[in-house]
Amino acid sequence: MFSDKINHVRIQQVLIFAMGMLSIAVIMTSCAHASSNCSAYQEVEVVE
């Protein structure tokens, strides 16, 4: 019905770009500080 008016390829490209940027932002902010530990491992004894 409306498929001829909607550019599905462009919508998919925008979504993939947005998801990629969000993923990069999460990776860069999760463990950005090298001097401090990640919050996931604070006060947890890691067995090596």
Judge residue 42's burial from the number of C-beta atoms within 10 Å of its C-beta, 0-12 exposed, 13-18 middle, 19 or more buried.
Answer: exposed
Q: Report the percent of the chain where pLDDT is more than 90.
A: 29
Q: How far apart are CA 7 and CA 10, in angstroms?
A: 6
Higher-confidence position of 38 and 9: 9
Contact by Cβ (8 Å): 14, 7: no
List pLDDT tens digits, range 25-46: 888 887 665 555 556 666 666 6
Q: Round the average pLDDT of the chain to a whole number and report it.
A: 76
The position carrying tokens 């925008």 is 14
pLDDT confidence of residue 7: 84
